[in-house]
Each structure stands twice: as C-alpha cells, then as structure tokens.
A and B are shown apart, each in its own frame.
Chain A
Amino acid sequence: MSWINMLSWWQWLIMAAVPPLVVMLYFLKLRRVPVKVPSTYLWQRTIEDLHVNSIWQRLRKNLLLLLQLLVLAALILACLRPGFRGEENLGNRSIFMIDNSCSMQATDVEPTRLASAKKQALEMLDAMTGSDVAMVIAFNDRADVKQGFTSDRRQLRAAIESIQATNRTTDLNEALRAASGLANPGRTSQVKDMTDIQVADAIPANIYILSDGGFAAPQLDLGNLSAEYIPIGTELPSNVAILGFTVDRNVEKTGKIEAFARLYNFGLEPITVAATLSLNGELVDSSELTLDPESGDGVTFPIENATEGQLKLELEAEDDFKSDNVAYAGLDPPRQLEVVLVTEGNVALETALKTEYAQSLATLRSVDPASLNSPESVQLAQSGDIDLFIYDQCAPEKLPESNTLFIGSMPPDERWKASAMSGPLFVIDSNKAHPMLQYVDLGTVRIVEGQALTLPEGGTELVRTDAGILAGVAPREGYQDAVLAMALSKRGTDGSTPNTDWPIKRSFPVFLLNSLEYLGGAVSSAGAKTVQPGQPAVLNLATRFDKVEIEPPSGKKVEIDRTGQPQLIYTQTDDLGFYLARPAKMDRLLQLFTVNLFSEQESNIKIASEVQIGTQAVAAKATQSEIVRVEYWRWLLGLALLVLVIEWYLYNRRVAI
C-alpha cells in the first residue's frame, strides 16, 4: 500500500480543521428545548454518571456524529490516494515526453490519442514513489519543456494536463536534446576545447516517449538515457489524407483554373470518399473516388471564371484523423508584374519581352543605365514595388529591393565572384529541374565568351559550361538574384556584335518567360503560398504599408509593424486555414496564404512498432498495466457515499442508541 499526497500543506491545514469543526458544530447545533418538569431530581441522578467525561459520553452516544466523522475520514483517506504500486517501478528520474503533434489528434483511441497519452502519463506519475523526480516535455516539431525535474506531483500533473494539441509535424530531436541535458552533461560542452571540462556528473534518466511513433529517426545518441516507447493508438487505423492541393491557371485559356489534389488512403481497407470543393464558401464541384489500401490518387477540378478567392477542399470520409481531410488554397488575383529593363538597347531582349504572353504577364519599362543613379531610379529600386529588375551589361551601386536578373554583368555583391572572360564556351549541363530552365534546351547554343561564376552560399547552379558555372541563382534576404555571366551582344565602338546565337533560338524567349514567372513571382501557379503548421510564412508585400494586419483562421487579427523591411515573416501559423494579410485598418487584401498539413508522416497514423533513436531501436512497450498502480480512492469515495446514505436514513428515522 502506498499513498500519494494530493494536497499542499495549506490544503491539509484546512482539511485538518474540518473534523474539529464538525464536532464543534455538533455541539453548537444543540439548541436544547427547555421543558419544565416537576423535578429534575431523578433526571440528575440518571445523567449523573454521564457527566463524567460528558463530552466523550456524548460523542459515544451520538451515532450521527460518528458517521459524519467516518465520512470525513473516508474523504481524507481518498485525498491521500491509497493504492498498490504496479509490478514495475519507474526509475527515480523519469522524463515524460508526450507527443502533441497533429497526428495525436487521431480518434482511433477514445477520445483522442493525446488525451490517452496524457491519461497514461498521469497514471505512470501515480506509480512514482515519494523521492522520484520527473520532467514533462511536450514535443511536436519543437520541444516544449512543460516542467523541469521535480518531485512535486501536483506540478507534474498540472504540466501534463496543460499539454494542448497542435497541428504541427513531429520531430523528436529537439525534445531529446532537452531531455539529455542533465543525463549527458558533456554533450553540450565544446569537445575540442581542452579547458572545457565536464562540471556536472551524468545523471541517468528514463525517457518515456508517449507517441504514435510518426517521426523521422532522430540522430542522437541516448548516452545515459534509457528510452521506453509507449505507443499511443491502434495498429489498424483508417485514414484518408489530402497530401497536396494546388491551383494552376490554364496557360491556354485565360480565366480558367485547375485545382489539383493528391489523396492517399493510409488504411488497410479500400475506402470511397467524396471530395467537395468550395470557393469562398460556395460549393463548386464534388467528386467521388475510391482509394485502394495504401495507395494514392489525384483528383482534378476545373474551375471556370474564377480569378481570386479561397478554395477549400474537404473529404467526406469516416476515418480516424480529421485534420488532413481538409485542404486550403488561396487563389491570388492575377497581377501584372512590374519589370524594369535596364539596358542601353538590346533588340533581342526587348523583342523577347514583348511577346504577347510576356506582355500579359508583365508591364515592362526600360531605363537607361546612365540614369541608374538618379534619385528617382534609386527610389524606385528601393520601393519594393518592382517585381524584377533586368540589368543588361550594367549594374546598380546597390541591389534593389526586388528580384534581379543580371545579363553580362555582376551584381554589386561581393558574394558573387566571376573569373576572367574566356571563350568560346560550350554548354555541358543545364539544370532542367529548375523552373527557370523548364523547356529550355541549351545544347546547340554557341557562346563566344563568358565568365565562370562562383555562387554565393545557397546558390543554385543553372548552366555549366566547360569553363565553369555560366548561370546561377542565389537567394538574398528573401529575394532571388540570377546571373547569366555572358553578354548577349558585345558593344563596341562600331556598334554591337552578337556574343551568342541564343537569342535567335526558340529557347531564349522561353528562358525569359520562365525568368519572369520565377523571378517576377509565381503568377502562373495562381495559387497562394502555403506553409505547414508552425512554419514561418514569408510574405513579400509592397513597402508603402508600414503596418500590416494578419487575420488568421481564428479571426483574431494581429498587427505587424514592418519597420521598413520588404519582407514580412509571420510565424504564428499554428492553425490550419486561410491567413489574410491586409494593410492596417484597410479592407484591401494584400496577400493570402494558407496553412495546410500536407505531411505524409503525420497523415500516416499507423503506430510504429518501434522507434529508431540514433543507432538504437526502441521497441514498443506491450502493456502499461505493470507500471500503473491500483487505486482505491474511488472505493473510499463510495464508502463515504454509503455512510452518508446510512446517516441520512438514521437522521430521518431518528434512530437513536
């Protein structure tokens, strides 16, 4: 038999005051009725012996009071939570790691996996002995230490109960690092630093991972930690998920949009689902399809005459996980790109940018390189209103607040480096997977001379020649800078002579169109940006609005001060749904973005039979019963109730002894 103290000292003080209070009330409540009698002579003689220890005599004689005290005793005992310990002891240092990622919202165990995990953790907490300490960590793609090591059951209990479900994905790494802080103190020290010595002794601890196992194997050595994986969920849950939902404009037909969704059945039974698409809350289309076990399928919805709005795809399916049965896509309004071409005059470029399709995409304005440093041009470059600057054999002093494409010149950024001119160059490889080089064939392009580029960190190689990288693209604080290290034509005193035959090939206008689409903004995709829950959303907004208001799905608007930055990073993306960015106190929609789960890892809610941590495989613990204690407080409460009923009966029957 063991006891768990459920109350703090002051609560016990109050509790201890109750029994004397009951006894006092018993004496106080005696409002004796005066009755006149001929003589108290005989009565006095009768109660004479009762006067000896009269208080105890009264107590002894009063069954009701005794019963009341019995009820109190049962209640006090219940507060001590008597019970027998389970067969297995928890270690004296335990770490409860409770998964609160999106997949823990699955309802294959009642009411949810997270609730079940919390319940199990609480039961395990009860099995701890008085000196045991424990720590509570809630983890999803990040770890949240809810309670550091303590032996205070109430704090631990409160910490476990405070864990809320999230829509985030799962990553155990951070949680394990937090857990191993004390167990493996050397781990955080600088190994190479000889003066850095381990100052704390390693204290081994047991980790209890209460999760469905839906996470990638963390690359961490457990060291002094011993892990136990307690699977939460069933092995055969049913779930149909939307793994992707995109919206594309039909290139051939203006105003026509196609919504495409990828569905997957993670269950072991075939399932028929109805997919319903609604635009701004109104039903647009519906489709029914049957998915085989553990297989996926796509579904396409053509949408006529829609230019902007909020698309919502819902699956009507009786499965165990609802969060992935709905997907959101924002339909951005078609927008004319603002493109500035800085050139002394380039027929090839100007011609390619004046095709019918290019004109439908972008408004082009040409600027002479001589006026690049004029205040108007500098202001324009820094305003953020321009989507793309194309510099033809020239470069500004400072990079503009927009995406850039340098042709035959280098950006004023020391991260970009170029070798000396060499030639002729032969294209030996092009990155066709990159959107800028889609449908672009450079195999037959001849180049008189060019440079070899060294890309900044994070840059992507686009075209490689025998001399080195000819073209590449690299990020710059949310913008993209693309460089083509060859001029299209060389300017001399006698006019310009071609440097390459690329402008006369079909691939050249295609490359420029790709550049407009990619660098100018994902216009053709029509769909608004989407991020996973908890991931930061980077918004490129016009700088003329100092304050932007973001309206999340919950409707609780957040005002953000941009402080002059062209980019705005919004991090509170925990809820699934539409997020609307507006200028503060204005109705105009600046940008729409969505938060969707789109995670195969989360949607696959089948519990893992084991989890891999570093090199160690931790098998699922078969049962919880051996570490969970058997409780008796319910019986005590039942007893209290029974005694109360007896007391009530006696009171009403006025049975006296």
Chain B
Amino acid sequence: MSAIFEPHTKHNMAKTTTEQDLLPPQLLARLERLELVSRKIFRGRLKGERRSRRKGQSVEFADFRNYVPGDDLRFVDWNLYARLDKLFLKLFLEEEDLHVYFLVDASPSMNFGNPTKFFAAKQVAAALSFVGMCRGDRVRIEFLGAENQSSPVLRGRSQLWRMSDFVQAIEPEQICNLTDAVKRFCLKNTGRGIVVLISDLMDKSGYEPALRLLVGQQMDVFVLHMLSPEEMDPDLKGDLKLVDCEDDDEAEVSVSTALLKKYKATLAAYVDQARRFCSQRGMTYLLARSDQGADVLVGQYLLERGLVR
C-alpha cells in the first residue's frame, strides 16, 4: 500500500499493489449496502435494479389504467374485472439500469500528495463503481488524459476484478486539457446518466468549459474536487521557486505568513467559485481531501452529501 502513496514515482505503482489496496474488503462490504443516487431518473436499456418512470414488468405495482385493445392480456386485473366488470390493466414500475460514468483527471498535477490525489481519485472511482456495479448500473470509468482511457461498460459484481485491474493499470499521463478530454468523452457517450468528475480542477485554461459540456449532455453531474492537504495548507518556508509540474511554469515566492494567508484566501475563493458555478448549473460540487481515505470519503463524506445512500 505504501508504494502507491509515494508521489512522483510511476513504476512502483499499480503493478505491485493488489485490489485490496484500492478497495479493502471491509470497504467492499460497506459499499455493497450503498447505492448511487441520481436526482434524475433515466431510462436504461437493460433491466436494472432501479425503478424507472417507465411502467414495465416488475413486481412493484404502480397504477391501473383502462384497457385499450391491443394491451397485453397478461396484465389485465381479472379480480377487478370480476368485481367491477370492467377491464383494467395493472401497471408495474419498470426497474431499469443506470448509466454511471466516472471521469478521473489523469493529468500529472493529480500525482501529488501523500497519498496522491490520483490514487484517492482512483479509489473513490473504484468504490463508487463497485456501488454502481452491485446495483446493476452500467458503469464506465474514463481517465481523462491526452488520450482518454476508458474502461468497458461494467455491470454486476462479477466485474469487480476487471474494473480494479483496469483502474490500477492507469497512471497519470502527460499534460492534458480538461475541456478537450471532456469533449472527447461527450462525443463518445451521448446517453444520459450520472457523471462523476474527479479532478483537482487545476487547469489554467479553466474548468468551466468542461463542466458546461457535461451540463449540456443533460447528465446528472457530480464534481468531486480533489485537493491534497499540501495544496490546502502548504507547508512551505523561505524563498522558493515553485515549478509547475505540467508546464514548468515558475512562480517566485518568498513565503511569509501573509503570503500563506493570501494563498489560502485565493484557494477559498477558487473553491467557492467552483461551488457556485456548479450549483448554478445544477451540478453537485463536492470538495474532497486526498488524505481522507476511501472509506471515509465514500462511507461517510459522500454518504452525508447524498451521492450515495
């Protein structure tokens, strides 16, 4: 487990770790009892464990309606016909599956922190995928990079190992533009569903166009803003030359109490702006710390904030 926590190292990740690292058994046990919450009800293609607005074949009664010629006689309520001498058709709620997409930012900036933000993002994505898979949702995990790496559609608990193998194999890629990556995703996936974007939103060209694209898909968008403790509360001292890991941009700073205060204010404003941007557009914004751990993040934090129940 420790190897994957070490930042800046690529080769010590994934291969040597097991799925237990990503999703420990006790976490899996907790996750089995959860389900993803969507504020919108979408139509799925296959029968799932999710009630749909569509009436269909299931065991859960929904309503009656008058029989019209051509209806399937199997759904006529004969008991009612006997009492009232009228033909009524029994309607059942259709149980449908749900499309759940996890978009994980795989830019190098995610590869920071202890554990890295990327690891935390993968862990959350895997955990939530597992929740979705257990509920029969159609889950797809896509890593946003120069070339998006997308998992096949995963459905059912049996796909856990496939999913975790895929997730663990992914490493932070070269520099990518969040908007471009999201655009590529949107072009490929036109269906409705839930999109959970896990990113640090540190894109110098701005995260807003990317989020607008997702909103345009009419998807239920959750933005999980993943920040490392080092970003939220930097432990820096002295005169430093800060080098951006993505574009080697430099910022010369003389760290002082005042500067740190100002940085935190800037960060707070940035987070607040993102939250406001999301809420204005019907997205759910969630701020997460990379050092919280998947069990806390999914089992408590996201539970409290309504992404799962």
Of the candidates B108, B239, B253, B258, which one forms a contact with A43 in the assembled complex, judged by CB atoms under 8 Å apart?
B253
Q: Which of B108, B200, B237, B241 has the most CB of A within 10 A?
A: B241
Of the candidates B109, B238, B270, which one forms a contact with A38 in the assembled complex, judged by CB atoms under 8 Å apart?
B109
Asked if B281 CB lies within 8 Å of chain A CBs, one says: no
A61 to B257 CA separation, bound complex (whole angstroms): 11
Asked if A433 CB lies within 8 Å of chain B CBs, one says: no
Say whether, besides A38-B110, A42-B263, A58 and B243 are in contact (CB < 8 Å).
no
A39 to B109 CA separation, bound complex (whole angstroms): 6
Which residues of chain B (218-241) have a CB below 8 Å from chain A? 228, 231, 236-241
A38 to B117 CA separation, bound complex (whole angstroms): 10
Asked if A200 CB lies within 8 Å of chain B CBs, one says: no
B256 touches A38 (CB 8 A): no
Q: What are the residues of chain B within 8 A of A43 when measuring CB–CB? A: 242, 251, 253, 263
Chain A: minimal CB distance from B47 (Å): 43
A34 touches B243 (CB 8 A): yes
A44-52, A160-168, A358-366, A465-473 - interface stretch: A44-52
Task: Kindly report which residue of chain B lies nearest to residue A33, judged by CB atoms.
Answer: B240
Q: What are the residues of chain A within 8 A of B117 when measuring CB–CB? A: 38
Q: What are the residues of chain B within 8 A of A24 when measuring CB–CB? A: none
A44 touches B263 (CB 8 A): no
Asked if A32 CB lies within 8 Å of chain B CBs, one says: yes
Of the candidates B200, B238, B246, B249, which one forms a contact with A33 in the assembled complex, judged by CB atoms under 8 Å apart?
B238
A38 touches B241 (CB 8 A): no
Chain A: minimal CB distance from B221 (Å): 22
Asked if A37 CB lies within 8 Å of chain B CBs, one says: yes
Asked if A1 CB lies within 8 Å of chain B CBs, one says: no
B263 touches A30 (CB 8 A): no
Q: What are the residues of chain B within 8 A of A36 when measuring CB–CB? A: 8, 242-243, 245
Of the candidates B243, B244, B258, which one forms a contact with A61 in the assembled complex, judged by CB atoms under 8 Å apart?
B258
Say whether, besides A32-B240, A35-B236, A39-B246, A46 and B259 are in contact (CB < 8 Å).
yes
Task: Kindly report which residue of chain B lies nearest to residue A655, judged by CB atoms.
Answer: B257
A31 to B254 CA separation, bound complex (whole angstroms): 11
Task: Kindly report which residue of chain A lies nearest to residue B111, judged by CB atoms.
Answer: A38
Task: Kindly report which residue of chain B lies nearest to residue A39, judged by CB atoms.
Answer: B202
Asked if A41 CB lies within 8 Å of chain B CBs, one says: yes
Asked if B147 CB lies within 8 Å of chain A CBs, one says: no
Q: What are the residues of chain A within 8 A of B243 when measuring CB–CB? A: 34-37, 40
Q: What are the residues of chain A within 8 A of B113 when measuring CB–CB? A: 38
Say whether, besides A37-B242, A61-B258, A657-B257, A32 and B252 are in contact (CB < 8 Å).
yes
A47 to B254 CA separation, bound complex (whole angstroms): 10
A656 to B111 CA separation, bound complex (whole angstroms): 31
Chain A, 1-38, contact with B by CB distance < 8 Å: what is the 0/1 string?
Answer: 00000000000000000000000000000111111111
Chain B: minimal CB distance from A67 (Å): 15
Q: What are the residues of chain A within 8 A of B246 when measuring CB–CB? A: 39
Chain A: minimal CB distance from B81 (Å): 68
Asked if B266 CB lies within 8 Å of chain A CBs, one says: yes
B200 touches A38 (CB 8 A): yes
A40 touches B250 (CB 8 A): yes
Which residues of chain B (83-139) have a CB below 8 Å from chain A? 108-113, 117
Task: Kindly report which residue of chain B lies nearest to residue A61, judged by CB atoms.
Answer: B256
Chain A: minimal CB distance from B43 (Å): 39
Asked if B262 CB lies within 8 Å of chain A CBs, one says: yes
Asked if B188 CB lies within 8 Å of chain A CBs, one says: no
Say whether, besides A39-B202, A42-B267, A61 and B109 are in contact (CB < 8 Å).
no
Q: What are the residues of chain B within 8 A of A40 when measuring CB–CB? A: 242-244, 249-251
A42 touches B110 (CB 8 A): no
B109 touches A47 (CB 8 A): no
A47 to B240 CA separation, bound complex (whole angstroms): 13
A33 touches B239 (CB 8 A): yes
Q: Please report B residues at the A interface, Cβ cutoff 8 Å.
A: 8, 108-113, 117, 200, 202-204, 228, 231, 236-246, 249-259, 262-263, 266-267, 270
**Can you add 16 more A-B contacts, CB < 8 Å, to A38-B112, A38-B245?**
A34-B241, A35-B243, A36-B8, A37-B112, A39-B200, A39-B202, A42-B231, A46-B259, A46-B263, A47-B253, A61-B254, A61-B256, A656-B255, A656-B256, A657-B256, A657-B258
11 A/B residue pairs, CB under 8 Å, sorted by A:
A30-B254, A34-B241, A34-B242, A35-B236, A37-B243, A37-B244, A39-B204, A39-B244, A42-B266, A46-B262, A657-B256
